[in-house]
């Protein structure tokens, strides 16, 4: 049951069916007209059908005859590498911590400790804090390194749960601190989830937590309560004064949770007909690079890549009667359509391929895909709202794992060749290199 509930096709179906049902039935807190048209519903549905179909094909296609590992074989193979995995997790956690501390230091230099305390703790003016402090102290390509904490959490959880090593509470705190701090201090709930979810995924995958229906319901309820409390503490007092929040803090928090979902689906629907977007350069595939060199839509590169048209597509929807006034998310499909128009089919194929490969790699106990899967899992939870897997948040972890895989593959190809050549020169007998975990079978031929 543990593994079947991680099937991305099941998670996509549940996320989209539930979010669309909420959109259809829920009366939003922030009033807007719901957008309904045949064209919108057809394209919205087709986008996710292509994702599901592609993921299914990729999962079921076998490229090599290599047999998948069992859990015991995986532990035997990676057990000898457990210390290197531990060190890698600590290095990644240190980079994430350093990036977070650098961000805080820049805030202190900009505003000072006293004004920050007044703004965030006493006044709880998070909107001003975000606009005048957070957005002005980020360093493109540097502060985003906090996202490597996702990999650190996943690798250390694999080291503890997967390879059965002893976990230490101060290391857990060290890994979790940047994400939790960012979640509380910067009011980014997603940042807190990003470091907690990899740990939960590893605990479930390696049978440290046995899933039951009761635990699933309790987990979902706990998340909704957490979100409601966090949202209530962040903005309830402001909207209570303006008359928007009529009920108590918990009622308001739950309404905001449902509003995030409903408004994202509505924006996605409206984007198809209102954006005036046909096709565009797929910027989201290169968002981290372009955010550094082409952040302005009117720059030369911004014009070449269609940033201005994408921004106008957003404004067409945002300024319409179909947009929730307090929400800027265009939804997963809406953001893709805003970016590339009807090339959303290409995006759907790419996304379906990635989640299909990730699940197949997870079932086959492939180390790289096991570490990447929590990122895929987060993207599936966010699939109604943002294009997480194509966003800057996922760029560094995915880029790091891609480079890591290429380097290790290159080393693995060179090592047997060097070993064979060296022995042949000395003795005239060719010896075939066999990795440690496979030794004990015949490893020599003349």
Q: What is the pLDDT of residues 109-150, one digit of tens each?
A: 888 888 877 777 777 666 677 777 777 777 766 777 888 899
- For residue 218, name the pLDDT band (cuts at 50, 70, 90): confident
Instruction: Say yes or no to pLDDT of 445 above 50.
Output: no
Task: Report whether pLDDT(199) > 90.
Answer: yes
Q: What local confidence, expressed as pLDDT, does residue 293 receive?
A: 56
Nearest-angstrom CA–CA distance, 386 and 329: 7
| pTM for this predicted structure | 0.82
CB atoms within 10 A of CB 359: 23
* Mean pLDDT over the full length of the chain: 82
Name the token pair of 116: 């920050």
Residue 357 sits at the vertex; the CA angle it makes with 359 and 20, to the nearest 5 degrees, is 65
Which neighbouring-strand residues pair with 444?
431
Query: In whole angstroms, what is the distance from residue 358 CA to residue 261 CA?
Result: 26
Residue 19 near residue 320, CB atoms below 8 Å: no
Q: Which among 110, 188, 228 is positioned nearest to 393, based on CA atoms?
A: 188
Lowest mean pLDDT segment, chosen from 98-107, 236-245, 268-277: 236-245
| Ramachandran area for residue 341 (φ above 0: left; ψ -120 to 50: alpha; else beta) | left
State the pLDDT confidence band at 228, using cuts at 50, 70 and 90: confident
| CA–CA distances in Å: residue 35 to residues 26, 208, 426 | 14, 44, 76
**Residue 99 pLDDT exceeds 90:** no
Q: Which of 118-122, 415-419, 439-443 has the highest mean pLDDT?
A: 118-122
What's the farthest any 2 CA atoms get from each other in the chain? 87
């Amino acid at each position: 049951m543990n593994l079947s509930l991680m099937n991305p096709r099941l998670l996509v179906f549940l996320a989209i069916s539930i979010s669309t049902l909420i959109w259809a039935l829920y009366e939003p807190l922030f009033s807007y007209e719901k957008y309904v048209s045949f064209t919108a519903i057809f394209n919205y549905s087709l986008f996710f059908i292509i994702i599901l179909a592609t993921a299914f094909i990729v999962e079921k296609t076998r490229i090599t005859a290599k047999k998948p590992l069992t859990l015991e074989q995986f532990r035997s193979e990676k057990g000898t590498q457990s210390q290197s995995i531990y060190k890698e997790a600590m290095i990644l956690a240190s980079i994430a911590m350093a990036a977070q501390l650098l961000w805080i230091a820049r805030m202190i230099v900009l505003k000072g400790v006293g004004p920050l305390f007044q703004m965030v703790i006493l006044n709880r003016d998070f909107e001003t804090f975000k606009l005048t402090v957070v957005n002005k102290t980020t360093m493109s390509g540097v502060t985003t390194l906090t996202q490597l904490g996702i990999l650190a959490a996943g690798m250390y959880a694999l080291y503890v749960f997967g390879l059965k090593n002893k976990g230490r509470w101060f290391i857990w705190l060290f890994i979790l601190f940047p994400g939790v701090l960012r979640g509380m201090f910067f009011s980014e709930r997603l940042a807190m989830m990003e470091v907690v979810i990899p740990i939960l995924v590893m605990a479930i995958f390696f049978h440290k937590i046995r899933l039951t229906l009761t635990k699933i319901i309790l987990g979902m309820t706990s998340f909704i309560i957490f979100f409601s409390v966090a949202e209530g503490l962040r903005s309830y007092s402001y909207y209570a004064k303006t008359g928007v929040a009529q009920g108590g803090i918990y009622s308001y928090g739950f309404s905001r949770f449902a509003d995030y979902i409903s408004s994202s689906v509505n924006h996605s629907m409206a984007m198809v007909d209102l954006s005036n977007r046909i096709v565009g350069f797929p910027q989201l595939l290169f968002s981290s690079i372009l955010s550094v060199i082409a952040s302005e839509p009117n720059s030369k590169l911004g014009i070449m890549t269609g940033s201005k048209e994408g921004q106008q597509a957003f404004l067409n929807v945002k300024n319409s009667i179909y947009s929730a006034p307090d929400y800027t998310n265009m939804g997963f499909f809406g953001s893709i359509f805003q970016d590339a128009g009807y090339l959303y089919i290409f995006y759907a194929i790419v996304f379906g391929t990635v989640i299909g490969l990730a699940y197949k790699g997870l079932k086959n106990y492939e180390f790289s895909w096991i570490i990447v899967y929590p990122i895929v899992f987060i993207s599936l939870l966010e699939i109604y709202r943002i294009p997480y897997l194509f966003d800057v948040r996922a760029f560094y972890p995915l880029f790091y794992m891609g480079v890591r895989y290429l380097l290790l593959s290159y080393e693995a190809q060179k090592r047997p060749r060097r070993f064979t050549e060296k022995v042949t020169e000395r003795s005239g007998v060719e010896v075939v290199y066999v990795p440690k975990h496979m030794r004990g079978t015949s490893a020599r031929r003349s």
